[in-house]
Amino acid sequence: MRVAIADDHRLMLDGIKRALESAPDIKVVGEAMTGEDLVALVPRVRPDVVILDMRMPKGDGLATLQALQKSHPDLKVIMLSMFDDPEHIEKALGYGAAGYVVKSINPLDLPSTIRGVFEGTVYHPRGNAGNAGSSDAAPQATPGGLTNRELAILKLVAEGLSNLDIASKLFVTEQTVKFHLSNIYRKLGVGNRTEATRYAYKNGLID
């Protein structure tokens, strides 16, 4: 797996590279210290995944993410940030980020996070991050430990709605729905929509 890194601090760049050195299936193929440099770098090194700092000179993280989405729509981009609040998370996912990593992450967890994002899991370590500005982002005491938003999505999954239909119904992005589904599967200990629906009916999460 080919990874490019973008951060305007040399210490952070070197730290990420060191964290990935022990992963035999991950190769750092390029690095950049500005948004402009990253946009120019990507077509040259052809990464599978980009780790992108949220705040960058000459094209901040979100602007750079948008530019990459237009020119390389299949590229997986993980946003790197010091902020772990739902507003920043939702904004990054809404712009199309495939993952969101806080800079306080344990370096040992970074390779597995990159693998998960590459395989299609929308990643963020905060299990209760909900729709920005929504009062239902607080955890709800259900058997699966789901938030109100996750429970609502689970009910729609059980009704047979697709991710796109759920996103339209809840006025969120499809990427956000995928993010919540990955948290639902993890919390319930299941691997797919069918198993999640079965668990929900068996444990009284839905009628």
Query: What's the whole-model pTM score?
Result: 0.63
- Residue count of the chain, please give it: 207
Residues of the chain with CATH 3.40.50.2300: 2-118
Tokens representing residue 147 in the block: 């938030």
Residue pair 187/143 in contact (Cβ under 8 Å)? The answer is no
Tokens representing residue 136 in the block: 């239902």
Distance CA 122, CA 99 (A): 5
| pLDDT tops 80 at residue 68 | yes
Distance CA 90, CA 99 (A): 11
Dihedral in degrees, nearest 10, Cα atoms 44, 49, 52, 54: 140
Residues of the chain with CATH 1.10.10.10: 135-202
- Report the 3 state secondary structure along 16-74: HHHHHCCCCCCEEEEEECCHHHHHHHHHHHCCCEEEEECCCCCCCHHHHHHHHHHHCCC
| pLDDT tops 60 at residue 125 | no
Q: So what's the pLDDT on residue 198?
A: 92
Rg value, the chain, Cα: 18
Q: What's the average model confidence in pLDDT over 111-115?
A: 85
* CA distances for 63 relative to 31, 135, 190, angstroms: 18, 28, 36
| pLDDT tops 90 at residue 67 | yes
Distance CA 98, CA 65 (A): 10
Distance CA 198, CA 84 (A): 32
Tens-place pLDDT, residues 126-162: 543 333 333 333 333 455 677 777 888 999 999 999 9
For residue 121, name the pLDDT band (cuts at 50, 70, 90): low
Q: So what's the pLDDT on residue 53?
A: 95
Is the CATH code 1.10.10.10 the one for domain 135-202?
A: yes
The CATH architecture of the domain made up of 2-118 is 3-Layer(aba) Sandwich (3.40)
Sort strands 99-102 and 76-81 into parallel, antiparallel or unpaired: parallel
Q: So what's the pLDDT on residue 127?
A: 44
Q: So what's the pLDDT on residue 142?
A: 52
Q: So what's the pLDDT on residue 182?
A: 81
Tens-place pLDDT, residues 150-206: 888 999 999 999 999 998 888 777 777 887 888 788 788 888 899 999 999 988 888
Q: So what's the pLDDT on residue 71?
A: 93
Q: What's the average model confidence in pLDDT over 33-37?
A: 94
Average pLDDT score, the chain: 83
